[in-house]
Amino acid sequence: MVLRNIIGRIALERGWELSLSSSVLQQYSKGDTTIKVRYLHTGAIWHAEWYRGGTRRDVGSQDPNKRDVVIAWLEE
């Protein structure tokens, strides 16, 4: 299964709303929290950001655990 579909399925199962989607970006919202996941054209995660209130976390392109970090954010 394609990574973006896996992330999307987990997000929807956890009650997140898909608020923006394109070939290279998915944005999910739940309450006052937003998660943006940017993908390379190959389907791999390039960068991800988590926002709540004024707090921001991100995982960059060099982090080998990007997928696990995004899934952990969705499960919070």
- Per-residue pLDDT, 1: 59
- Per-residue pLDDT, 31: 96
Q: What is the pTM of this model?
A: 0.91
Computed on alpha carbons and rounded to an integer, the radius of gyration of the chain in Å comes to 11
Give the 3-state secondary structure of residue 68.
helix
- Per-residue pLDDT, 62: 92
The one-digit pLDDT tens for each residue of the chain (76 residues) are 588 999 999 999 999 999 999 989 999 999 999 999 999 998 899 999 999 999 999 998 899 999 999 999 999 8
- Per-residue pLDDT, 35: 98
* Orientation of helix 3-13 relative to helix 66-75, angle to 10°: 10
